[in-house]
Chain A
Amino acid sequence: MRIATMRATVVAVGMLGLLDACGSSGSGGGAATTTATTPGATAVCKGTTQNPGYKNGLTKQPNQATSLSGAGSTFVNSMMSVWTAAYASTGGVQVAYQSIGSGAGIKQVQAGTVDFGDSDAYMKDADIALAKGPVLQIPLVLAPVVVTYNVSGVASGLKLDGETIGKIFAGKITSWDDPAIKSENPTVTLPSEPIATVHRSDGSGTTDIFTDFLTKESPSWVTALGGATQSRGKTVAWPNGIGGKGNDGVSGAVGQTEGAIGYVELGYALTQHLPYANVKNKSGAFIEPCNQTVLAATNGVTYPADLRFDLTDASDAQAYPITGTTWALVYQNQTDAAKAAALINFFSWVLTTGQDMTSTVNYQPLGKDLQQKCIDQLKKLTLNGRPIVS
């Protein structure tokens, strides 16, 4: 059954490519700059992704420590393990990353037990107040949270808007042949089968990104959870459904449960061969999550100086609306010269060479302007109050 699903997905993706070839007369392949209008919006996902090839890394700091310790987000873990393995062989520095969860990563940073942390939800002022000093928050990659499902007869391409997803997770829509889902998918035969929602049972940055989107797009979700302050967060009071621990717990439960719908980071849906929905964005188009549409979510975003921002429900016509990032958390003022040098070298490498490795694990590289801002952020590191990068 799984193989069948996968094959169907491949076929469907191929068909999208054909449609694009017919419809948008040769404007494909242009990645995020393509300005195809709504009907062909999903088609931007076809074609191979080019590596960004950033060369603006910082000058290598001498006398660096030979090891670094980090802890936090599970969302970024598969990316981080590719980076740390490659960096150990090319950079000669062992980076030990513990995938313990975003909230736990923030706690470790506050306690000062790691050299850097990582969280999919940025540290709020209240979090920083508990830390030992100002914290630099540096986005590392972009990634979509996909709405994955297991519905018999629907191999791929289900279309859903935020309000419908919100109603499903709030328990207001309980069957797959509900008129709300049907009206968005007139050509799909939906079975009369109960919906099992799957959510994260542990606190999670993925949940934060997903519920941020629901809060912006689904009034029913906000009402069901008792207001906008309750309807978004790393944990929310899920009104029903199955809880899975970690992204793999959720994708596993969706794969095992007929009629299930859940949300995971894209890579987890791909490795389990689960289909995922095209989600309606702010400009009204149903968007497939992929490199180009995720990058499009950063178009026209003005980044605040501290690089704390949300990418959900972006205004670009091609933006995938449930897009997030993950932040490295580093104390702005370092006290150990060797560690500081190693941190600058590692993150400079991650933001340049490291960005070219993102596609191997289905993450998306940072856009050019954001990447430059991250490099600039790295320059703010100080050693006992004095700047390190001249």
Chain B
Amino acid sequence: MTAQAGVDVPVVRPRGRATRWLGGDGAFRVVVTACSAVVLVTIVAMVIFLLVQGFDAMRHYGFFSFLTTARWAPSEATATSASPNPYGILQFIYGTLITSLIAMILAVPVAVSVALYITNFAPLRLRRGLSSLVDLLAAVPSVVYGFWGIFALLPALKPIGGFLASTLGKVPVIGVAFSGPYFGYSYFAAGVVLAIMVLPIIAAVCREIFATTAGSWKEAATALGATRWEVAMVAVYRPSRTGILGASILGLGRALGETIAVTMVIGNFVLSINKSILGQGATMSSVIANEFTEAVEPFHLQALFVVGFWLLVVALVVNIIARRIVAAQAAL
């Protein structure tokens, strides 16, 4: 096929010479390299942009001072006083991590099960339809998830939240994390919305991974008398564990940065860390979305850029750690 094309070309373009093809090669390389460079330049430019925009606040309060308190009170900021820093962001980092954690705990097992069902258990004619449905979940805009979250999910979670508050909330030590009252808007609700949003991403990737597992393994397992469940575990799930972790990281990336849907259900409480996951809080992205239009206090807007900068850092760190775990898994 390729040989034929090589023969054809001089016929179609009589004046074409071999050197022109080498030129095309070079041009292609330049284009591809340039495209890759755009990605790199964009991310570097973004970091620089955030640092430049947040520079005034960082210089005024100190680079790391934002990470030393969990009190965000823009109304207490003045143009002169630098201490204490009224723009503490620990509670937002906490909010971002805890909502993502809840989302992963809820979403990963379900997503893996969905993918296993589609690839191994569902009747053939159902597989395609089910796959499309799962993919469709990923296409729902996040603002719609937010709306749905407020009007459908919050009422539906009410009994669950109330139950958690009246049972786990009464247990010593861990009770702090589940103490009531539960009003609906909470880290918990945000985590559940996030779980539903990341579910299709993880499920879709897992589905592809499971579909590529070697058929011979499955046949071998079946031949050895394994049940369908055992086949799925031994021949599909086990060899795919690294891939599942990778899929989860993709989902985690979305969960860390998701803004609108979270902002609509998390309750936007910014003054301190709310220890209870049934209480209101805020994430790094939600506080930016909420406040940037009216950031009129001294250093307020700059402080929001600082939040943006640390959000990028948190996302990078989490990604690096997750990749390490994947690499370690793969090496086993």
Contact = CB atoms under 8 A, between A and B. Distances in A.
Do the two chains bind? yes
Interface of A: 100-104, 106-107, 194, 196, 201-204, 226, 230, 233-245, 252-253, 256-260
B185 A201 contact: no
Nearest to A253: B185
Q: Which of A101, A230, A241, A252 has the most CB of B within 10 A?
A: A241
B297 A235 contact: yes
Nearest to A102: B294
Interface residues on B, range: 20 to 34
Interface stretch (B72-80, B97-105, B311-319): B72-80
A234 B269 contact: no
A237 B73 contact: yes
Contacts of B73: 237
B267 interface: yes
B280 A202 contact: no
B183 A260 contact: yes
Contact of A104 (B183, B185, B293): B293
B294 A243 contact: no
Contacts of A243: 267-270, 280, 282, 290
B322 interface: no
B16 interface: no
Where chain A touches its partner, the secondary structure class is loop
B44 to A, nearest CB: 29
A242 B75 contact: no
Interface string B221-265: 000000000000000000000000000000000000000000100
Nearest to A106: B296
Contacts of A204: 294
B270 to A, nearest CB: 7
A241 B290 CA distance: 15
B199 interface: no
B268 A252 contact: no
A259 B291 CA distance: 26
B294 A237 contact: no
A203 B269 contact: no
A362 to B, nearest CB: 24
B64 interface: no
Nearest to B183: A196
Interface string B65-97: 000000101111000000000000000000000
26 contacts: A100-B293, A102-B294, A103-B293, A194-B183, A196-B181, A201-B270, A202-B291, A203-B295, A203-B296, A230-B75, A234-B294, A235-B74, A235-B297, A237-B73, A237-B75, A238-B269, A241-B269, A243-B270, A243-B282, A244-B268, A245-B263, A256-B151, A256-B154, A256-B184, A259-B183, A260-B183
Contacts of B185: 242, 253, 257
Contacts of B296: 103, 106-107, 203, 234
Contacts of B290: 201-202, 243, 245
B294 A252 contact: no
Interface in B35-88: 71, 73-76
B269 A257 contact: no
B205 interface: no
Contact of A239 (B268, B271, B291, B295): B271
Contacts of A103: 293-296
Interface centre among B181, B185, B263, B291 (most CB of A within 10 A): B185
Contacts of A230: 75-76
Interface string B273-316: 00000001010000001110111110000000000000000000
Contact of B183 (A226, A239, A242): A242
Contacts of A202: 290-291, 293-294
A108 to B, nearest CB: 11
A107 B297 CA distance: 12
B115 interface: no
A257 to B, nearest CB: 5
B208 to A, nearest CB: 38
A237 to B, nearest CB: 4
B150 interface: yes
A109 to B, nearest CB: 12
Most chain B C-beta atoms within 10 Å of own C-beta, residue among A203, A204, A233, A238: A203
Given A241-B280, A243-B267, A101 B293 contact: yes
Nearest to B79: A126
A237 B76 contact: yes
B293 A236 contact: no
Contacts of B183: 194, 196, 242, 257-260
B76 to A, nearest CB: 6
A299 B269 CA distance: 38
Contact of A235 (B71, B75, B150, B268): B75
A256 B147 CA distance: 12
Contacts of A241: 267, 269, 280
B7 to A, nearest CB: 63
A236 B184 contact: no
A252 B150 contact: yes
Given A196-B183, A242-B268, A256-B154, A235 B294 contact: yes
A242 B297 contact: no
Contacts of B184: 256-257
Contact of B181 (A194, A233, A244, A256): A194
A192 to B, nearest CB: 12
